Every structure is written in C-alpha cells, then in structure tokens.
Amino acid sequence: MRQSSVIARRVAAASVSLVLAAGAAACAGPEDPGGDDAGNGAGGKPAKGGTLTVLNSQPQVDFDPARLYTSGGGNVPSLVFRTLTTRNREDGAKGSEVVPDLATDLGKSSKNATVWTYTLKKGLKYEDGSPITSADVKYGIERSFAGELSGGAPYLRDWLIGGDKYAGPYKDKSGKGLESIKTPDERTIVFHLNKPEGEFPYLATQTQFTPVPKNKDKGTKYEEHPVSSGPYKVVENENDGERLTLERNPHWSAKTDPERKAYPDKIDVRSGLNSSVINQRLSAGQGSDAAAVTTDTNLGPAELAKVTGDKALASRVGTGHFGYTNYLAFNPKVKPFDDPKVRQAISYAVDRSSVVNAAGGSSLAESATTYLPNQKSFGYTKYDHFPAGKSGNPKKARELLKEAGHKDGLTITLTHSNAKDFETSPEIATSIQDALKKAGITVKLEGLEDNDYKDKIHSAEDEPGLFLAHWGADWPSGGPFLAPIFDGRQIVKDGANFNTGFLDDKSVNDEIDEINKLTDLDAAAERWGALDKKIGEKALTVPLFHPVYKRLYGKDVKNVVISDWTGVLDVSQVAVK
C-alpha cells in the first residue's frame, strides 16, 4: 500500500507516468532479462569513484527513518540507513530474499515465532564514529510511534505487545520506553510479539529498524540531517529533500556490510523533475546526465514506443518487477454486487488486453488473473476462475446476468480517481467501460479527485460498490498482500479500512494465523498461494494487471541491479567508473 501512501504525500502536480516509490520485492518472471542485459549492456568492470546523479520526480520529503514507508529500506534512504535485516542486493529473483544487515543473522525466533532475538555485528559505527548500540535501534523504533513522526507501516503497532497503546518517546515520560523491546546488552535486541509472525525478518528491513542516537534526535527536524549508519552521509539537503548531496561516510566499513557496493564517491540527488524530462535527460545523457539513474520514474508508453525504435537506447533499458496488482474491487454490501453471479459476470466481461493497453501496453503491464503477484516469493499459484480470455467473454457474462435476473442488461457505476497514474485513473476506467458494454452492462463513471477517492474507498460507510484499486507488497510475501485485504479481523469501522470486500471468513482468518506461525518462508509462500486461489473463487476482486517497469539509465552507468523486491535500479550497487 506504499504507493498510494507516497502518492498521497507527494502528488507531483502533473506527473504523466507511473510513480513508483521506494523499494519492493518480487521474483524474476521467466521473461525477465532486464538486469543481466543491463549489467553487461553498460560493459566494463565497475570501479570506485565518480559522482552518481539521481534524477527523480518525487523529492525525498521525508528523510526521517521513522516517517518513511518503505520495504527493503528504500533506495536513497538505504544508502544512509542500515537496518537489522535488508533485501538481497541482487538482480531479479534472488533480489527478493531477505538477508542480514546490522544483525548477524535473520533473527532467532522462539515461542513459535512470537519472540525474535537479534545480535548486532561488531564494530558498527555512525558517521561521527560513535558506536551503534541495540538501544539506538530500540529508540529508533520507539520514535516511529510518535504522532509527530507518523507515516510508517502499521506492523510494529499491530505486532509488538503494547504497541497499540504506546505513544512514542516524546509523550512517554516513564523512560522505560516500549517494554516489549528488550536490550539485555549493547548488541542484543529482543522483540516480544502479541502473535506468531514468521515473516518478522522481512519487517526488520524497514527504515524504522534504523538505529537513531537519542542524543542526536531533533524530533521533526531530525530529517534535515539524519545520522548515517550506511555508506553515505547527508552533506546537503535543500528545499525539503528536493536536492540531496551524499558523500562517503568514513566510518562505514564494507566488511560489516556485504550488501551495499557503494562504488561512487558522491551521490547527487535532484528531484522535482517532470517525468518526461527525466527520461529525456537520461536518453540525451548530457554531461552529468551520462552518469545518471532514476529511482522513481520509468518509461511511459510513448517513451517506450520511441526507445524500442532505437538500438542504443534500448540497450540502456532495464526491466523491473514488483509485487503489485491492479484490480477491480467490489463492495458486496452494495447492490447488485451482493450477488456473486453479477460479480462473476463482470469478471468474465473484462477485456484485459484493452486494460493492459490503457496501462501502457504489454511491455508495461502483464494481464493478471490472480490477486497475488505472479512471482514465486509470493507463492504465486496460477488460476483463472472466470476465464475471460484475452479480450473478455461477454457471452458468458450475459448468461450469468440472465441467471442473476438482469436479462436486459445492467447499469452500474465505476468509481475511479482523477489522478493521472494510469492505474486507478480515467483511462483504465474507460477501457473497462468499453469492454462491459459488449456484455450489455452500462457503466457510469464516477471520477473523484484523488483525496476524495481515497477517503471513499477506504471508508467502511461510503465505500462505493465497484471501484479501481491496487495493492503493493510491503515485502515480497503473501502475508502483507492478503492479510490486510481479506482478514476479517482487519475490517476497520472508524478509520481507513482495506478489507474492501468485508470478507470475514473464519476458515480464511484461521489459515492466515496458521501461515503466520511458519518461519520457513518457502513453505509459507506455498500456502499463501493456495489461500489466494481459494479466496479468488469468491470473486470479490477482478485482478486486472501487474505493472512492469522499464527503467532507462545513463550511458556511463555500470553494474545495473534491479531486484524483484523493488523493481527499481538499486542505487547502492550502481557504478559510474
């Protein structure tokens, strides 16, 4: 759900292409040549030195580890913030594995995954040379509970004992802090959870697990110069993260950090740029743009059309995948969507090829029949309960409608956002409208301004009957993908609700609990896949497509790594010499 959060926090006034935020995970689809190509495409052995320019559309408005909503620690932030664990900085599928970072291992679990113990590596230092202690990690996590520093993912709040009560270190005067986090010694930190969570190592990759030295904490002002534990430190932060200059952190040692390659000496982040301008600059490669990459902008359809016509450019395009699904969501409380037959009819009627086209064509979107992303780490299990073929099955749809008692067609309203994101935007909505017409379903479009749209679809009372939605992975696993949407206990009455289908099915809830107990992530993945297939039969959503990201990079850029966790070219691996 990070996308929308980031989009909400920073809607570029007129960004024409998808805006992908920091980080994500997935496993290499078989058709994914992206990374390797790219790696060799740039040619030559990567070497230290030089300045890497990052051209972004979204400024790093939040540079406080407590406020960031990332998975795998984000891109630019992960150059400065080290976390207990982190994503495997490798290309494609292997990139969706979780690996130790500050910690010596992925954590030892006990009491069937309700207690997690981590040990910090030796000789870890901040940019000022002072040692990193487990207390700092604890403090970093506690900060994220403060109202002043809101914005992070909800898991800590939901999982840690007493997390729902805790209001952060500023309000809490007891001095004991959050008691479910224990730091018996300088290097050990223990987490006590209120329920089994086999996927805790994944969570530990988020920036909230970054150590923050209490004496350096400046509250909301901390983000102006966060203390670095990673290979680079912030030397300049202009205009609220619009222009960042990062230089080497002398106290970081590659020995304790096998993940981050940190080739360039300097990293110059310029953001607030128009997406088409970013791609123009990358393809033109003037001056410093030759050694430039982007972490949040990909090729739009128009640009792709041009690039594919140009060999030289085409060789500078990397392909990224990211656990992400765009779908149609039903609210079964609203007629006629209370009738499964109607929901199924619509599932049959959708023309995925035209949806895919609206989303940018087959190179930028893969049509989806499953709710889970088509990646192994999610436990992807292929299914197509209501086969609509390439371009819809209006015949079958009509039949179902007849059975449902709508023999002479049906008129429904499709709610969508007016944001120009090509995901929940009018373009997609109209393509659906066009497809359903063939099945005798008249679709009225209700386009809402983005804020309004988000308010509505996440409110238990005002949720529309049929609307465009999408979900992104907080880490490459079925857990964060299925639980918030289909776990009946996560229905929120008085706030932002994500179980938009209001599914409260004991068997589903129990299965979720069971899987959460597993610490064997592969085994867990398989069962998530099975669960997804099972839920799919209820036709509470119509999966539409999984986006594919085409990333252009400068001509001097080497060692391009695009992990399937993020689908983004990894700035910690890039070399420019």
Partner 1 sequence: MSEALLAPEAGTGATAPAPASGARQFWRRLRTQRAALVAAVVVALLVLVALAAPLLTAIEGQDPGTYHPDLIDSGRGGVPIGSFGGISAEHWLGVEPQTGRDLFARLVHGARVSLGVAFAATFVQVLIGVGVGIAAGLGNRLVDQVLSRATDVIVAMPLMVLSLALMAIVPSGFPRPVLVALVIGLVAWGSTAKIVRAQTITLKELDYVAAARLSGWSTWRIARRELLPGLAAPVITYAALLIPLNITVEAALSFLGVGVKPPTASWGQMLTSADVWYQAAPQYLLLPAGALFVTVLALTVLGDGIRTALDPRAASRLRIGTGQKREGRA
Partner 2 sequence: MTGFSPGRTRLLRGMTGFSPGLTGLLHGMTGFLLRRAAGALVTLLAISVIIYAVFYIAPGDVAQITCGPRCSPAQVAQVSEQLRLDDPVYVRYRDFLQGIFAGRDYSTGTGTEHCAAPCLGLSYQSDQQVTQLILAKLPVTGSLALGAMVMWLILGVGTGVLSAWRRGRVTERVLTAVTLAGTATPVFVIGLLLMIVACGQLNWLPFPQYVPFTDDPQQWAWNLLLPWLSLALIEAAKYARLTRASMLETLADDHVRTFRAYGVGERSIIGKHALRGAFAPVIALSANDFGSMFGGAVLSETLFGLPGMGRELVHAVKVVDLPVVVGMVLVTGFFVVLANAVADVLYAVADRRVVLS
User: Is 265 near partner 1 (CB under 8 A)?
Assistant: no
What character string, x for contact with partner 2 (CB under 8 A) and - otherwise, covers 63-102?
A: ------x---------------------------------
452 touching partner 2, by CB under 8 A: yes
Query: Which C-beta is closer to partner 2: that of 12 or that of 355?
Result: 12
Q: Give me the 281-310 binding string for partner 1, x by CB under 8 A, dash otherwise.
A: ------------------xxxxxxxx-xx-
Q: Is 451 in the site for partner 2 (CB under 8 A)?
A: yes
**Cβ at position 412, least distance to partner 1 in Å:** 15
Residue with tokens 């252009």: 552
x/- mask, partner 1, residues 400-429, rule CB under 8 A, reads ------------------xxx-----xx-x
What letter would DSSP give residue 374?
Answer: S
What residues numbered 205-244 form the site for partner 2, per CB under 8 A?
217-221, 238-240, 242
Q: How far apart are the C-alpha atoms of 410 and 349, rounded to whole Å?
A: 13
Q: Does 312 bind partner 2 (CB under 8 A)?
A: no
Single out the residue of 5, 245, 315, 430 in contact with partner 1 (rule: CB under 8 A): 430
Of 4 and 354, the one with the shorter C-beta distance to partner 2 is 4
Which among 5, 556, 470 has a CA at the least distance from the CA of 288?
556
Helix, strand, or coil (residue 92):
strand
Residue 173 neighbours by CB under 8 Å, 6+ apart: none
* Residue 484, token pair as written in the block: 């918030």
Nearest approach, Cβ of 249 to partner 1 (angstroms)? 39
Q: Which is nearer to partner 2, 218 or 407 (CB)?
A: 218
Q: How far apart are CA 529 and CA 400, in angstroms?
A: 28
147 to 206, contacts with partner 2 by CB under 8 A?
147-154, 157, 164, 167-168, 170
What is the total residue count of the chain? 577
CA-CA-CA-CA torsion for 196, 25, 325, 379, nearest 10 degrees?
A: -60
DSSP reduced 3-state for 160:
strand
Q: How many CB atoms lie within 10 A of CB 250?
A: 11
Q: Which is nearer to partner 2, 36 or 452 (CB)?
A: 452
By C-beta, is 441 or 524 nearer to partner 1? Answer: 441
Alpha-carbon distance of 530 to 283, in angstroms, equals 43
Query: Measured from the CB atom, is 114 or 490 closer to partner 2?
Result: 490
| Range 474-493, binding partner 2 (CB under 8 A) | 484, 492
447 binds, among partner 1, partner 2, none (CB under 5 to 8 A by kind): partner 1
Beta bridge partners of 541: 329
Task: Give me the residue label for tokens 């030397």.
Answer: 235
**Cα gap 576→545, rounded to integer Å:** 35
* Of the candidate residues 132, 356, 439, 485, the single one contacting partner 1 (CB under 8 A): 356
Among 315, 391, 459, 509, binds partner 1 (CB under 8 A): 391
For residue 499, state whether it binds partner 1 (rule: CB under 8 A): no
197 vs 351, which CB is nearer to partner 1? Answer: 351
> 181 Cβ partners below 8 Å, 6+ apart?
138, 141, 142, 160, 189, 190, 191, 192
**Which CB, 183 or 276, lies closer to partner 1?**
276
What does the block give as tokens for 534?
A: 């099972």
Q: Is 138 in the site for partner 1 (CB under 8 A)?
A: no
Q: What's the N-to-C CA distance of the chain in angstroms? A: 36
Give the separation between CA 349 and CA 438, rounded to whole angstroms.
8
Is residue 13 within the footprint of partner 1 (CB under 8 A)? yes
Cis, peptide link before residue 336, omega less than 30° from 0: yes
Q: Which of 185, 186, 338, 449 binds partner 2 (CB under 8 A)?
A: 449
CB 245 within 8 A of CB 235: yes
Task: Classify the phi-psi angles of 98: left when phi > 0, otherwise alpha if psi is within -120 to 50, otherwise beta.
Answer: beta
Any idea of the CA torsion for 373, 377, 378, 379, to the nearest 10 degrees? 110
Residues facing 417 on adjacent strands = 448
**Counting contacts by CB under 8 A, is residue 61 touching partner 2?**
yes
Among 199, 289, 463, 532, binds partner 2 (CB under 8 A): 289
Continuous H helices in 187-285:
200-203, 275-284
CA 389 to chain centre: 29
Among residues 279, 283, 247, 253, the alpha carbon closest in space to that of 266 is found at 247
Of 255-274, binders to partner 2 (CB under 8 A) are: 270, 272-274
Does 334 sit near partner 1 (CB under 8 A)? no
Q: Kindly state the number of chain residues that form the binding site for partner 1, as judged by CB under 8 A.
A: 43
Residue 310 touches partner 2, criterion: CB under 8 A: no
496 binds partner 2 (CB under 8 A): yes
Binder of partner 1 out of 353, 381, 490, 573 (CB under 8 A): 353
Phi/psi at 302 (nearest 5 deg)?
Answer: -60, -45
Binding interface with partner 2 (CB under 8 A) = 1, 4-5, 8-14, 61-62, 69, 146-154, 157, 164, 167-168, 170, 217-221, 238-240, 242, 270, 272-274, 276-277, 280-281, 283-284, 286-287, 289, 449-452, 454-455, 458, 484, 492, 494-496, 498
Binding interface with partner 1 (CB under 8 A) = 13-14, 16, 276, 299-306, 308-309, 351, 353-354, 356-358, 360-364, 391, 418-420, 426-427, 429-431, 433-434, 445-449, 451-452
